[in-house]
Each structure stands twice: as C-alpha cells, then as structure tokens.
Amino acid sequence: MRNIKTLIEALKNIHSKETISYPIGEWPGKKYSNIPETLRGKPIINEEKCIGCEACYNACSAFTIKFFNEKDKRRYSIDINKCIFCGRCEDVCPEDAIKLSNEFELTHFPEENEEKRYVKWEKILKNCKNCGERFATIDQINKIHDRISLNINPKVSEEVLKDYEIYSNYCPKCRKILSYKIGINPSKYYLRIGKDLKEMK
Amino acid sequence: MIIEIIYFISLIIFNIFLSFIFLFLFRKINAKFQGRKGLLLIVPKDLRKTIGSTKIMQQFYDILKLFYKQTIIPKNSHKKIFIISPIISFILSIIIIPFLYFPIINDAQQKFLFIPFDLLIITYAIILIHIFWNIGAYASASPWAYIGIERSEKLNFFAQISFISSIFSIAILSNSLSLKEIVIKQDIPYILLNPFSAISFILFILVNFNLKPFDVSEIEVEIVSGPFTEYSGKLLGLIELTKTILFYINSILFINIFLKSGEFFSSIINLFLLLIFAGIFVIILSIINNIFPSYRIDQALKIYPILVIIFSSLSLMLSFIYKIFFG
Amino acid sequence: MLSWLKKKARMYSPWIYHFHAGGCNGCDIETFATLIPRFDIERFGVKLVNSPRHADIIIINGPITKQFVPMLLRVYNQVPNPKVVIAIGSCALTCGVFNRNGEENYALAGPAEKIIPVDVCVPGCPPKPEAIIQGVIFAIKKLSSKK
Amino acid sequence: MIENSMKNILEDLSNLIIETHDIKINKQLAKILSIDKEKLIEIAKRILKNSNSRLVHEIAIDLGIDGFKIIQLYELFNSEGKAYHIGIESYFPREESKIPSLAAITYQANWAEREIMELLGIEFEGHPDKRHLFLPYEWPNETEAGLEEAKKIGFNVFPKPEPPNILPIGPYHPALLEGVFLRLKVDGETIIDADLKPGFNHRGIMKLGEERSYWRNLYLFERVCGICSADHTNAYVLAVENLFNIEPPDRAKYIRTLGIELERIASHLLWLGVAADLIGFKTFFMWCWKEREKAIDLLERLSGNRVTKGIARFGGAKRDLGKEEIEKMIEKLKDIEKSVKNLLDIAYNNSILRKRTEDIGILDFQNAIEYGAVGPVARASNWKIDVRHDCPFDAYSQEYTTWDVIVDNGKDVWARVIVRIKEIFVSIDICNQCLNALKNIKGEIVTSEKIELRKGEGIGKVEAPRGELIYYLMSNGEPIPYAVRIRTPSYRNNAIVPFILKGYRISDAPIIYGSVDPCMSCTDRVQIIDIKSGEKKIISLNDLIKRR
C-alpha cells in the first residue's frame, strides 16, 4: 500500500510541462531549455579589435586556432569541430576581440565544412622595407605604437616613437643587419633611458 | 460470399489500425507518467516534412520500417522453425479478431462465426501465440534467448493457469462458452460480480506483455531482448505486429468479458463505450507498468505463483458460490 | 507508391544505436539526456535500441581508442543500409582535446571519420542536448536522401 | 603539527629512515620518508598495522637515467577522524627494477601495482596477479608476466570459446554505458567468481599531461571524466597551488565549493536514475534526471557549460557571482530540495525497489577497509571517510562551513542509495551556506594568474561524488609538469566489484556493479604504451548474440 506514493507522483507528472518544443519555436513550451548569458558557445571574432597578436594561438588548449600567411594577408581560423569551448582564448585576448557567443546549434554536414566548420578572419601584413618579407600585422604594429606612447617616460617618448616608426618597417632579421644603418641601435636607448632613470632618482 | 470476405478483411484491417492507435495510447500515457510529452499527436508545420504530420501511427511505421530492413537468420538456428513460428503466431492473432464481440458489426459476424465455444478458441489461440514465439526463439540457438525462454516459460506456466481460470470462472458464471452469450447475458458487469477473475486476467496480461513488475523475460539490462534477441528485419516486424494486435485483442477481450462489452445504450454509442473502456484499461495497465521496478527472476517466481493461486482459486470459488446459490 | 512508403517509414521511425568509443562520458550523458522529460526525443518517434541490427542511425561519442576500433567496425557493418552516422562532440570529430597538434596520439585510433564515413557532425564539448536533437533531425533528412 | 601516533611511527621507524621531507597536501603537510627499497614492505606492514590506516595510492615515476622513484602514500586517522599523511619514498636504478610487492600484504595496492608493472616495467616480486590491467592481456609484457601468467591463472585470458560456466558481460552491454569487460563464473544462477577487465577507454591522458603546459592541462584534466569534471579541475588546481604555494582568496574558495557541491547533486541524481534503470524502473529514472536538470541549470549558469564546467583557476575561480544570481540560485536550490525529498519518500516507500536493493552486494566494514573502498561505498559500510572532513580543502573546513558526514550501517545496495540521497541534502545545505557567505564576502576571485615555477611536488585531494580523488604533480622547474599521477575514486571502487558480486544472482549483477557508481572514463584514464591494433580479440556481446 505504501506504493501509493509512487502512484501519486506518477499522476502528478501528467500535467508536467517540462518538455521543451525544440526545434520548433514557441510550441507548446519554450523553445530552449536554459541558455544563460555565460554559456560558452561558438567563438566569434571582432575583426576590428583583433590585432593578430596570436595570444589565443599560443594559449588554445586544443590546438584549434591556426594561422598561415597568404600573399599580403595572414589568415586565421578556428576549427569548430576541434574547439572544446573552454574559453581560454577569451581569457588571454588582450583586446577582447575573441568572445564565446551563445550560439550552440552548430550541427553541419561534413560536405559543407567550409562555411560552418571554420571561424575565419584575416589581417593585413606589413612588408619589410628591406627584404620584402611579411612579418607582422599592421594592427599589431600600430597597437604597439599606442602602448608605447601610453606607458613610456614622456621625456624620451618623442624620440622613441619616431624611431619605432622606422624600426617597425623592417622584419626582425633585417633589423639586426640594418640596425646601425637606419639608426635604431638599441644601445642608444639603454644609454638614454639609463641616464633618465638616474636623473629621476 | 465475396461481400463477406471483403467484410472480414476490412474488419481485420480496421482492427489492426485500431491496435496501432492503442499502442500509441499506451506509449503516450507511459510518457505522461514519466513527465514527458511523449509521441506528438500533431506535429508542428515546420517539422512535418521530416517526421510526418502525426505520430499516431508510429507503431505502423516502426513495423513497416522493420519490413524493409535486412532480415538476418542466424547460422546455427533451425531455419524452418525459426522462420515459420512468428508467421504462425501472426496468423493466430489474425484469426482471433473476428471472434471478438463488437456492438455494431456483430450481426454480420454472427452468420459465420457463431460458434458455441468460441471463447475456447480465443483462449487457446492466445496461449499458442506465446508458445510458438518461444519455439521460434528456441530454434535461434542464442544463449540470451535460452535464458529468456526459460524465464518466460516459468512465468507463463502460471500466467496461463491464471488466464484459464479467469476465463473458466466467467464461463461458469454465465453458463456459456460463447463470447456473444457472455456479453448478452451480463446484466451486472462481471467485474463487479467477480472482481478476482478480472484481477487474474490482469495478472496474465502483465506477464504476457512483459509489463513491470513481471518483465523478467525481456529485461534489457540483464538479457538483451530475451527470446527475440536473434530476430531482425521482417521477422521482428512480424513479431512486433503480433504483439501490437495481441495487446489490442486482450484489452478488447477484457472489456467484452468483464464490462458487458460496453453494451449499455444504443449501438453506435456502445462501440465508443467499448473503445473508451478499453482505453481506460490500457491506462490502468500503464499505471501498473510505471510505478514498479521489475522483480528479480527468483522474486517474481516466488510472488507471482502465490498471487495467481490466490486470485484464480478465489475467482473460481466465487463463481461456484454464485452457481450454487443463484444459478 | 511502395518506395514512397519505404522512404516515409524510414524517416518516421529512426532508431538510434549509441556507441561509446572512449571519451569522458560527457557526450554520453548528454545523449542520454535527450531521452529525459525536458528534451524527450521520443516525441519524434526516435528510439534508442540496444542492438545495432535494429538501428538506422549510429551516434558515436569519444575519440576512438585503439581498443574500440574492431568493435566500432563490427557495429558499423552490422547496421543495415541505409545508415547514417552522427559524430557527437569534438572528440569524435577531431579527437578534440586529446589530439596532439598534428602528431599521433598513441592511445587513439584517430577521429571517427578516419575509420568510418561520418554523415552529420555535431560540434561541442559536449554539445547541449538541443544540439544533439538538431543533429538527429539533420540525420533524418540525410536518411531520406540515401538509398 | 604532528599527531602523537605519527610521532610514534616516526620514532618507531627512525633507524630505517634515510631522510624526510614534506609535500603539501591540501592544508596539511605529508611527511615523506626516504628509505631503502628492501625495507618497503617492513615499513608498510608497520604502518598498516595501525587500525585506522589505509593506502591512498602507490605512485611510480620514471626519472630517466636516474632510475625509478616509488612513493607509497598512506593516510592515517586520529581519534577525531581527521587524517594525516605519511609517504614512503624509495629510489632505485633501472637495472634493479625488481622490488617487493605491497599487494601481497594488502589488496589496496593490487591495481596500482598492476598498472605500474604494465606501464613502467617495474616488477613487483610476489604480486598475486600479474596480468595486465589496462592493456589487453595478450600484450607482450616487459616484465614477462603477461600471457603466460594469465594462462596459469586460467580464468583470465579470453578463451575461445568461453567455458559454459562463464558468462561474459560486455565489453558492450546495455547495462553498461561504457566499455568494460565483466566476466562472471556462475553456478546455475549464482555468481561464484567475477573478474573485471577495464582499459577500453584509454586515452593516454597522464602522458598527454606530461607534455602540455600547466594551463593547457587544466582543460585536459577536466575531460578525464565528464560527470565529475569540476572535481578533476579542482583537484588539479589544488595540486598546482600546493606545488607553487598559491593561496586563493576566500570568495574563490566559496565559488569552487559551490561548483563541487552542485556537481555532487547532479552526479548523485544521475546515479540514482541509472540505478533505477538497472532494476527496470524507467519512470524513476526519468524523474531523477528531471531533477538533475535543475542542478545542471545552476551549474550552467555558474560556469557556462552543462558538463565541462571549468570553475577553478590557479589561485582563484573563473567567474564571479552577482547578487541577483545568488538569490535566484537559493530559490532554485529550495526547489531541488523539495523534489529530492519527494524522491527519497518514493524510493523509501516503493516495496519492489527496496526488495531489489536490500541485502545484496554486501560489503562489511572490515572488508571496506581491507579492499580500500572510498566515497559513498565506504560510507554505506559505516566507515566515516570523507576527504571534505578528514583533510579539508577549499571552503570545507570548520571556519567556512559546518556539516556532517553521512554514514549508514546497511552495507548493501540500499544503504548506498540512502547515503547518496542523504548526501544530496548535505550538498544543498553546503551550497546554501556558500551562497549566503558569498553575499557578504567582497573581494577579488583570483589572487594572481602568474605561476612562479619551482622544483618540487604537490598533491591535490578532493572528495569527488564517487570518493577520494588525488592528483600528484612533480615539477622540475619547467613550465610543463614532469609527472602527473591521477588516482580516481572509481579506480578503487571498481577493484572491489569482484568481491561484492560473489554469492549473488546473475540478475543482481547489473545493480550491484552499478551500485559502486563505476565510471570507466575515470578508471581508464591512462595509457603509456602503443597498442598494436588487431592484436587482441574480444568476445563481445554482439559476437556472442549476433552470430550470422
């Protein structure tokens, strides 16, 4: 007779409106179960914010962010199939350019891979003035410029920024070779900054 | 003659159709008790192309799909018996349908199938269906099927006692072995006169359809699908179809015998009453199915025989008492 | 007429066989979660079956470990045609977090598509049950176009 | 703070010890005694002689050219039930890779030593069962145990065909969600012997962990097991924090605790549903999972994913909770508590459910200690063992939250059901305490994301839903851990399954096996050697039942 409790619960459940109406809109219940704002879904890129620093590439826990150079562009891609939606890229991005959206219905046929499988974006690269090699994205170079101007000792800022503009025209290899020729020998900064530091003290 | 043949064929098809709806009802109610929505009655527009406009005929499509599937016959099996026994049990289940008592179509049926002992035919056909299934499963030579058959036969032995004593106590009560007479003679529904008999009948159905708590012969987690493990494709479809029809037959038979076949008013309402009562009966079965876990085989074998002996002897005794004092 | 019925029957009653091939259980739990009251995949006539012989759709979870390969192949061959394979989760699709950035992981036989043809991809780690339902609907569409 | 009995032990052993050092384990320090390998057994015997002692894990590390290092970590309990740890450490060169076996005196070391034998090639002399654990039995063994040894025991290779009295379950069986090979020696319907073969789930996680940075490992170890992922992250984070001496802020501790407890609610409800399904109670399964969804919703709100939560961070937590969210969560928790009370009521009053679970799968108190049960299985045998209480971490100690350890004297499957349901209430209580504390405490949730690398070892220990979970980390100062060792709770509980199956019926096998909450993903986390595919042949269920 004690089993009556199970029966009562069973009868109570008849009115349960637990079932969602997925995938068909607002019928008869709500469409989705629970989509909190914090949901970690498909990563989206704010291409304007992205500076191409590759922090996400270095941090990605499933090695899913890839990039390669093509002509004057650097192409980045996130493989949705490989992504584990951990949100590490979101954490490390210095510019908040990459965000995990709420989009989680990512089902696709393998034939139509290209559109649905990859999140793609690209950045324009800068040419080395000397050898013509493409070495960094323009946005990243500009960003470094901004950062320098924000954080640098104002006494030397003018000179450094001027030099940086020259400096950022060359790829790392050419910088070494040409450092004296173009007048960006690092020792001069050390000397200068050292002096300033002494003065400040 | 041709008209009669057409009549019977259409009768059978109509009843098979109804049996699909009964199974839909059973599945839907199971889902409801579990707090789910269950099979959709009306599928919303956007989805109609992919999954159909209604799921009421789900069992039909399931079976149809099985008929289009590859049928595999195990190497070690006895092929003829393996194939033929599901077919025989299907034919048996079809044979029972015209014997059932329906309020409207009764008159036409009467001409051909007024057999004074039709209740016996129904009883033996129902029991035989199960026996043929088990014979076929035995021919499949699968260890899981062996365990399933062993369990199913142990329980079915008592289930058949329960069934026969239930039917016989009604036969004694009504002094007849004809289903038609039993229905017509019922002034008070027999479920009120002899409730023990009805309980015996339900006990039989629980085992016959592997409903909880006595579904030990087909329990998935222990022995894959019991006797039917080796069946696939068309043969499995045939077995499923037979099961569906048998489920329907048993619920209709219950109403026929115990609730006067719904014959309380004029004829058309009676048919609806019959179906409504049968639907309620399905709901009751579903409740029992849903509020219990299944027994272990040894527990089932301890409890089930006791229940059977108590209720079948009570029902027979009650019938004899009525017979002695009132009949 | 018959072929029409055949097609309809296949679309209306898709039976699923669930294959766990390694992995962390997350996708398996989410696959089973599609059965529960909230998601209730049975309302579409979908059924989870225990024998690959009865199935139309195979759901694969997990990066297929080497010990699972022969079993996966056997299960795949046992499912009668036409069949659709849904690979669920980043593990089944590309080995996900267990991949070694191009190098071979000695424990894994690689993603599902290396071993059997995959028809529907459901990315996510793990995908929400809704996404799995979407995958099943996609699979039904694919099933209707297969012969 | 060395307890008296620990002092006694140290005095007792003083002439054998070469040197001692400490490893940080949660908030305590574990004394590690370096000794000669010949004296391993003698010391182990002396430690295990104490009534309240148990082996936590046996860890072996390949130090390359320096040979091997073996650590046996013991846990002892004082009169208040608090735990303290003693480790024995021994170095030996590659050429002399034979050491005395601990499994000969205690079963607790059985699986651990089998794993070390097959994966590192150290031979334990006198080990009672030298078969492979995770690798296929046919796999040629470096220690020449392997197939020959297995053939001697007879029961244990995959014979073709199986003897008629052996009933194979798996590797694929509807009762088992995952691949595991359980073989039952039966007499009629009664089980007289049982054997378990895990290992189908190897993904080589520990090896992968030794080639990835600490940060990447955070997400790798989260995926050891999908059901208790928050605990895995937390244990790993604790190990890293202990290794590099990072202390998370209080607020982060509460958030982490909240995550773990919510996960425990979800996991126990999941288990309850699966257990109900194993005895054929589909309806109860549905109801349990319905309630589980509510807990999962809270977790999703807290962390952003239903399964892989990723709540813990080095020195903090990932996400903070706002005030409104806290209020909503408290309300939802009330709802869950009400429904779970209802479920308990139903389970308690359903006669057949109790008949199916009572008096089967009995594990005595003595046996629980001897075989090394952990978690709810041990607590259902009246053994008060709970990492949250014995060796508190995060916000479990007295100054943060107050609660009791649930124990039951039933010893059977029903007791395990009751213990788990009651633990749900305790978890809800702890969650509420955490949420209330979060309302008041202000501050950062992360101290510093920077790790100052150093050489050393660290152990993280948490109570996962299934029991004690241990992460051992060894660093040599590089940004990649030198060695990672994981001891999951299912690893221990799976090992005791053959003992609790004996003497019961075949029909009870699924529920008894299910009652320890086996999680093969946890158990089979490791693989270090390549497997030649096609080497082994296994009689699967499909093979058995679906012959053409």
pLDDT in tens, B267-294: 778 888 888 888 899 999 988 888 888 8
Partners of D21 in beta bridges:
D32
Per-residue pLDDT of chain D (548 residues; tens, 9 = 90+): 456 777 777 777 777 788 888 888 888 888 888 988 888 888 888 888 877 788 999 999 988 888 889 999 998 888 777 888 888 899 988 888 788 888 888 888 888 898 888 888 888 888 888 777 877 766 655 444 444 554 554 444 444 455 556 666 666 655 556 667 777 777 777 888 888 888 778 788 888 888 889 989 999 898 888 888 899 999 999 999 999 988 899 899 999 999 999 999 999 999 998 888 888 888 898 999 999 999 999 988 888 888 888 888 888 888 888 888 899 999 999 999 999 999 999 888 888 888 888 888 889 998 888 888 888 999 999 988 888 888 888 889 888 899 889 999 988 999 999 999 999 999 999 999 999 999 988 888 888 767 788 999 999 999 999 889 999 999 988 889 999 999 888 888 888 888 888 888 877 887 888 888 777 666 655 433 322 222 222 333 333 333 22
Q: Residue D176 contacts by C-beta under 8 Å, 6 or more apart in sequence?
A: D169, D170, D182, D510, D513, D518
Best residue of D201, D270, D538 to probe chain C, by most C CBs closer than 10 Å: D201
Domain of C109, in residue numbers: 13-145
Contact B50 C11 (CB under 8 A): yes
Contact A9 D303 (CB under 8 A): no
ipTM of the complex: 0.90
| CA-based nearest distance A112→chain B, Å | 20
Asked if residue D3 lies in contact with residue D67, where contact means CB atoms within 8 angstroms, the answer is no
CB pairs under 8 A between B and D: 86
One of 3.40.50.1220, 2.40.128.20, 3.20.20.70, 3.30.70.3270 is the CATH number of A43-126, namely 3.30.70.3270
Order the strands of the A118-127 sheet from edge to edge: A65-70, A73-79, A118-127, A134-137
Domain of D280, in residue numbers: 205-495
Between B31 and D532, the higher pLDDT residue: B31
Contacts with A62 from chain D: Cβ below 8 Å: 219
CA angle (B317 as vertex; B316, B320 as ends), nearest 5: 90
Six token digits for residue D305: 């994913």
| CA-based nearest distance C1→chain D, Å | 32
Rounded Cα–Cα distance for residues C5 and D450 (Å) = 65
- Name every residue in A having a CB less than 8 A away from some CB of C: 16, 18-20, 22-23, 32-33, 61-63, 79-86, 104-110, 117
Partners of D84 in beta bridges:
D76
| CA-based nearest distance C146→chain B, Å | 14
Q: Which of D366, D166, D387, D146 shows the shortest CA–CA distance to D264?
A: D387
Give how many domains chain C has, as a whole number: 1
User: Does a structural domain hold residue C57?
Assistant: yes
Kind plus residue range of the DSSP H or E element containing D346: helix D323-349
Rounded Cα–Cα distance for residues B147 and B227 (Å) = 8
Contact C98 D204 (CB under 8 A): yes
Give how many domains chain D has, as a whole number: 2
Tally of CB atoms within 10 A around D69:
17
Q: Which of D490, D545, D540 shows the shortest CA–CA distance to D160?
A: D540
Contact C67 D136 (CB under 8 A): yes
- Name every residue in D having a CB less than 8 A away from some CB of B: 173-175, 189, 276-284, 286-287, 290, 350, 352-353, 355-356, 505-510, 541, 544-548
| CA-based nearest distance D305→chain A, Å | 6
Residue ranges covered by each domain of chain A: 43-126, 134-200
Residues 63-122 of B with CB under 8 A from C: 64-66, 68-70, 72
Query: Rounded to the nearest 10 degrees, what angle do helices D229-244 and D250-278 cross at?
Result: 150
| CA-based nearest distance B69→chain D, Å | 16
Contacts with B31 from chain C: Cβ below 8 Å: 40, 42-43
Question: CB-based contact (8 Å) between B36 and chain A?
Answer: yes
pLDDT at residue B306, as a whole number = 93
Cis omega before residue C117 (within 30°)?
Answer: no
Asked if residue A145 lies in contact with residue A168, where contact means CB atoms within 8 angstroms, the answer is yes
What's this model's pTM, rounded to 2 decimal places? Answer: 0.90
Question: CB-based contact (8 Å) between D341 and chain A?
Answer: no
Asked if residue A120 lies in contact with residue A75, where contact means CB atoms within 8 angstroms, the answer is yes
Task: State percent of chain B over pLDDT 70.
Answer: 91
User: Does a structural domain hold residue C2?
Assistant: no
Question: CB-based contact (8 Å) between C146 and chain B?
Answer: no
Contact A24 B44 (CB under 8 A): yes
Contact D305 A100 (CB under 8 A): no
Contact C63 D203 (CB under 8 A): yes
Rounded Cα–Cα distance for residues D106 and D126 (Å) = 12
Question: CB-based contact (8 Å) between B266 and chain C?
Answer: no
Give the closest of C26, C63, C100 to D308, CB-based.
C26
Please state which of the ranges A81-85, B108-112, D543-547 shows the lowest mean pLDDT: D543-547
**In sequence order, which ranges of D121-249 are alpha helices (DSSP H)?**
146-153, 205-209, 214-222, 229-244
Contact A23 C142 (CB under 8 A): no
How many helices (H) and strands (E) chain C has is answered by 6, 5
Give the closest of B213, B229, B298 to D505, CB-based.
B298
Q: Which chains neighbour D (Cβ–Cβ under 8 Å, 3 or more pairs)?
A: A, B, C
Are residue D210 and residue D92 in the same domain, yes or no?
A: no
Contact A63 C121 (CB under 8 A): no
Domain final residue pick, D92, D126, D160: D126
Q: Which of C130, C83, D307, C21 shows the shortest CA–CA distance to A106?
A: C130
Question: CB-based contact (8 Å) between D541 and chain C?
Answer: no
Contacts with D305 from chain A: Cβ below 8 Å: 39-40, 85
Q: Which of A174, A78, A62 shows the shortest CA–CA distance to A127?
A: A174
Tally of CB atoms within 10 A around D140:
11
Phi and psi angles of residue B74, each rounded to the nearest 5 degrees, phi first: -60, 145
Asked if residue D459 lies in contact with residue D239, where contact means CB atoms within 8 angstroms, the answer is yes
Contact C130 A32 (CB under 8 A): yes
Asked if residue A106 lies in contact with residue A80, where contact means CB atoms within 8 angstroms, the answer is yes
Contacts with A3 from chain B: Cβ below 8 Å: 291-292
CATH number, residue C133: 3.40.50.12280
Q: Nearest residue of A to residue B48 by CA position? A: A24
Rounded Cα–Cα distance for residues D194 and D214 (Å) = 40
Contact C137 B50 (CB under 8 A): yes
Contacts with B299 from chain D: Cβ below 8 Å: 355-356
Kind plus residue range of the DSSP H or E element containing D106: none
Rounded Cα–Cα distance for residues A59 and D228 (Å) = 24
Question: CB-based contact (8 Å) between D270 and chain C?
Answer: yes
Six token digits for residue A1: 């007779």
